[in-house]
Structure 1
Amino acid sequence: MSEQAEYGGLPDKRQVAASFSRAAESYDAVAELQRSVGEQLLARLPASLQPQRWLDLGCGTGFFTRALAERYPSGEGVAVDIAEGMLRHARPQGGALHFIAGDAEALPLQGASVDLLFSSLALQWCGDFQRVLSEARRVLRPGGMMAFSSLCVGTLQELRDSWQAVDGFVHVNRFRRFEDYQQLCAGSEMQVLALQRRAETLHFADVRSLTRSLKDLGAHNLNPGRPGGLTGPARIRALIEAYETFRQPAGLPATYQVVYGVLGKPR
């Protein structure tokens, strides 16, 4: 059985690309979690690392492409994303020498061509993470490093549980288990330097603010088999009522289970 079949299937990548392309203009205004996670991932890179060539995989609007360029001014940067709309937004702001449309499962790069592969909150959309790791190992030079953040099961559990109470349908994107990340990284023929899971919680004034934020990010429900059509007022009221049971003093919580990984290609 394939990894994708085992945990229920991921969204069609064409839909993911189209959704994030549409969100390119609104993304940065609501990307609080994405910036925080990316900065934590940057902090996990060893100070001694000085890549001649680095790759920002799933570069999005280029926020971390520019951060990597600032951190490694003597290095040559390559930015890759599956969403053309994101690349159109990122390219004029610079940071990388090349901005390329590409898929993490089939990277448009030569073998042994980069010293650092950096990817923050993009790889959760890939159905075959084993293939992602294989491609990372292929494009890294000996001694090179892969640093990634992704999402695992338990992400947006409050929203998932609230919808479950309303209609039993899956309205929240599916993600692989943390144990799958552990197993696949261990079998990747790369050295696992660090791999951990950490909960990150955002708070929202109300359910509408949360769902609007997910839409502006392009990360709303993209599951195959998701309910079609508009959600009626009665179901929305029931969702709000169910979600209110999670309310905390800071607001309605939206918890993300974030995976941070740093892997090294043997010399």
Structure 2
Amino acid sequence: MTSTNADHSSAQKPQGEQIAKHFSAAAHHYAKHDSLQRMSRDVLLAHGQFAASVVDIGCGPGTDLAAKGVKHTVGVDIALGMLQQARDQLVGLSPICANAEQLPLADDSVECIYSNLALQWCDNFPSAVNEMARVVRSGGYVNLAIVTDGSLAELQQLGLHVNSFLTFESVTEAFTPSDWHLQWHEQQTLTCYFDDLKQLLYSIKGVGASTHTCGQANAKTKLTGRQSWLALQQSAQQIRVAQGLPLSYQIGFIRAQKR
């Protein structure tokens, strides 16, 4: 595995370190809870533009892009545990432990970037877009899926706190016309369904998004004991549909070409 670049490691903010810790801990059971990631991946594969070599930012345990003609993937992630899984699962993947806002890659060196539900964790999303503009060569592509504002509405309905996400408008505005041609951008609602409330809540934690960094953090309805938990479960039945308990996400998709 490629060793962590010391400068990038030391520059990582405490919040980034905490997120990295959560995702590393989730690496071994990530695949059991990644239904949303698989749905957004399928949209990106259907609408994306790929090249023989791809940089996968926030690669997690790895995505097989061979069907799109990709022969080599550079997997970038802040979580060493995820990179270990990616290296073990994808032959030929080159892992790099780094932050999306400080990519240890040369200017104009990248043909294509792919990122599936990772960049919402950036402290400064426009900074990450600027980094992509720096490393992607003219004519190269980025294919992105990012969680946007309006996600996890069901948790709010249950009286649970939902952290804020960027609006889709602010996401697209980060791709300045001087650097990028937005070829396709669309916001879609993707909904996962669960048998019970515990499974729904664990779907967030199970992919590494702790209760502090996503979704049900800091509950307005404090779960102080068995009675409050039973009351929350009862409330959850009011949102149940035929498929199960829904948890919906607003996902922003972007395919952009570097000018």
- Report the TM-score, using the length of structure 1 for normalisation: 0.83
Deviation sequence 1:3-59 (CA, Å, 0-9, x none): xxxxxxxx922111111100001101221111121121011124xx5x243101111
For residue 209 of structure 1, what is the aligned residue in structure 2?
Answer: 199
Does the 8 Å contact 1:69/1:77 carry over to 2? no
- Give the aligned partner of residue 12 of structure 1: 15
Counting only pairs closer than 5 Å after superposition, residues 68-147 of structure 1 correspond to structure 2 as: 68-73=65-70, 75-147=71-143
Matches within 5 A, 1:248-263: 248-263=241-256
SS in 2 for 1:248: coil
1:195 aligned partner: 185
2: CA distance between counterparts of 1:188 and 1:250?
Answer: 45
Q: 1:29 aligns with which of 19, 32, 43?
A: 32
Q: Which runs of 4+ in 1 moved over 4 A?
A: 228-231
Q: Give the aligned partner of residue 44 of structure 1.
A: 47
Corresponding residue to 1:158 among 154, 158, 165: 154
The aligned residue for residue 173 of structure 2 is 183
Residue in 1 aligned with 2:53? Answer: 53
Unaligned runs of 5+ in 1: 1-10, 165-169
Identity %: 35
Q: CA–CA distance in 2 between the matches of 1:234 and 1:44?
A: 47
User: In 1, are the aligned partners of 2:39 and 2:190 still within 8 Å (CA)?
Assistant: no
Cα distance in 1, alignment partners of residues 223 and 83 from structure 2: 30
- Indicate how the Cα distance of structure 1 residues 184 and 251 shifts in structure 2: closer, same or farther if over 3 A, else same: same
CA pair 116-244 structure 1, distance change in 2 beyond 3 A: same
3-state secondary structure, aligned to 1:209: helix
Q: Deviations over 1:211-231 (max 9, x none)?
A: 12222111232249x549974
- Verify the 8 A CA contact 1:202 1:254 in the aligned structure 2: yes
Distance 1:188 1:100, change over 3 A: farther
Q: What SS does the aligned partner of 2:158 have?
A: helix
**8 A Cα contact 1:27 1:216, kept in partner:** yes
**Structure 2: any 5+ residue segments left out of the alignment?**
1-13
Q: Structure 2 length normalisation: TM-score?
A: 0.86
Find the counterpart in structure 2 of residue 235 from structure 1. Answer: 228
Shift of 1:163: 2.3
AA of the residue aligned to 1:248 = V
Could you say if the C-alpha distance between residues 142 and 159 of structure 1 is closer, same or farther in structure 2, counting changes exceeding 3 Å?
same
Question: In 2, distance between residues paired with 1:83 and 1:136?
Answer: 20
Distance 1:230 1:242 in 2: 13
The more displaced of 147-156 and 187-196 is 187-196
* 8 Å contact kept, 1:159–1:243: no
Offset, 1:189: 2.3
Aligned counterpart, 1:7: none
Distance 1:16 1:242 in 2: 30
Range 91-100 or range 153-162, more displaced: 91-100
| Pairwise CA RMSD | 2.2
